[in-house]
Amino acid sequence: MKKYLFIALLCFVLTVTCLLSAFGSVIHINANKSAFSTTPTEIVPIESPAYKIDSKDPLTLSVGDSKVIAISKDEEKTLRKWTSSDVNIATIDSGGRIDAKKEGNATVTALFSDNKKYECKVTVVKAEKEEADRFSTCITANSDVLKKNLASKNKKNPYSIYVNRKQNCVTVYTYDESGKYTVPVRAMVCSCGKNDGTITGTYGIYFKREWHSLFDNVYGQYVSGISGDYLFHSVPYYTKSPDDLEVEEFNKLGSNASLGCVRLSVSDTKWIYDNCAKNTEVKIYDDNNPGPLGKPETIKITDLKCGWDPTDDNKSNPYYNKTPIITGAKNCEIKKGESFSPMDKIKAVDTCSNDITDKIAVTGNVVTSRVGKYKVTYSVTDSLHRSTSVDITVTVKN
């Protein structure tokens, strides 16, 4: 008897598994940065960052933004369609995804088979996004404080540079209202000396040179002296040519690799060269905490035959106009009730062709149990703050 009960139970489990596979599944990709769901016949509510349509507050979006509207399980079953009063201002697809097109006001409406409807007022405002530095992996912050200090008529140096030797991270501070350097404005990844080869202590920048000879018959670009032979400089070059970089050394940024100097990418050492005047304070220390802004990611050169630093803003740089690439994202059709796997065959590489598929964010809501057209957006940003996005349409047919 026990044997037959076990067989019956096994058959039941297999049957349920097959039915669930046939009706699709709920999928959330990179939940911390994506809004994506596929909704099967058995309705499951859309998760954050969805907007509840019965909210009393109007929905405000910036031009270019997207938001998925959430409705209840029962409402999803009786939903007939979504509409927008002005598709030039805001569009809405079959899955309740709103796309803000241009400034203005529009009303999106959910119509149900029981004659019930929801209306959501949408205000689209101008997008005010800070332009990221496309030639650096740096992290920036507190631009308002820095802008105020730079515009000040007092002669106080706007910057103090802190080098965390243990974490290979440089954090630049500006001063607060009391005049103390406590406000972090920029963090940069670096390479300090092997075997504690970089000095510690407090110093001041004492000279600058666009190109400067280093040990072992190599050259540093955008050099700022810290103390004696200890310098801020780029990753070494074999010659004084921007296309003759020691590529293998560039790929060591973020770890101890120098003979004692503080190496940075070209863009970051150029920032110090251009912005930090002589006598700018430099503090070199050890700490397990990289700093208040954290340690930026590095980017690795995969083409070892290319002698350019990818952060160099020289227009002859082959990396100058490159951006991340997303592949495999194509319009598709599925039958009602079939499953949809948003990341199937989707891949992404960064500016230097490193795999960054795990950074892809997916935005959209595909209701596999309802006929309609659904917009899905794949977007990715690499360590150089360069972004790419691809839109596809998923059509669910009878």
Q: Which two tokens stand for residue 309?
A: 């630093």
Q: Which residues are catalytic?
A: 233, 261
Sheet holding 97-100, edge to edge: 51-52, 66-70, 97-100, 90-92
pLDDT at residue 36 in the model:
61
Distance CA 283, CA 37 (A): 49
pLDDT at residue 200 in the model:
98
Q: Which two tokens stand for residue 125?
A: 């405002």
3-state helix, strand, coil in the chain (%, to 5): 15, 35, 50
Distance CA 389, CA 396 (A): 23
Residue 10 amino acid letter: L
- Residue 19 CA to chain centroid, in angstroms? 38
Q: Which two tokens stand for residue 237?
A: 């070059």
Name the CA radius of gyration of the chain, rounded.
Answer: 27
Model pTM score: 0.83
What three-state secondary structure class fits 346? coil
> Contact 141/126 with Cβ under 8 angstroms?
no
Residues shown for the chain: 398
The per-residue pLDDT string of the chain (398 residues; one tens digit each, 9 = 90 and over) reads 434 444 444 444 333 333 333 333 233 333 334 556 554 323 233 333 344 554 556 789 999 999 988 787 788 888 999 999 999 999 999 999 999 999 999 999 989 998 888 888 999 999 987 677 899 999 999 999 999 999 999 889 999 999 999 999 999 999 999 999 999 999 999 999 999 999 999 999 999 999 999 999 999 999 999 999 999 999 999 999 999 999 999 999 999 999 999 999 999 999 999 999 999 999 999 999 999 999 999 999 999 999 999 999 999 999 999 999 999 999 999 999 999 999 999 999 999 999 999 999 999 999 999 999 999 999 999 999 999 999 999 999 99
Distance CA 265, CA 208 (A): 16
pLDDT at residue 303 in the model:
97
CA neighbor of 50 nearest in space, from 364, 342, 362: 364
Residues in a beta bridge with 395: 333, 373
- Side-chain half-sphere exposure of 335, counting CA atoms within 13 A: 3
Q: Where are the alpha helices (DSSP H) in the chain?
A: 2-22, 73-78, 143-151, 247-250, 266-275
The 10s digit of each residue's pLDDT in 55-102 is 556 789 999 999 988 787 788 888 999 999 999 999 999 999 999 999
CA distances from 53 to 84, 112, 251, 362 (A): 14, 14, 49, 21
pLDDT at residue 176 in the model:
97
**Domains in the chain with CATH codes:** 24-128+322-397 (2.60.40.10), 139-285 (2.40.440.10)
Residue 251 amino acid letter: N
Distance CA 375, CA 252 (A): 41
pLDDT at residue 46 in the model:
32
Residue 333 amino acid letter: E
| Element at 335 (helix H, strand E) | strand 332-335
Q: Classify 142 in phi/psi space as left (phi over 0), alpha (psi -120 to 50) or beta.
A: left
pLDDT at residue 72 in the model:
79
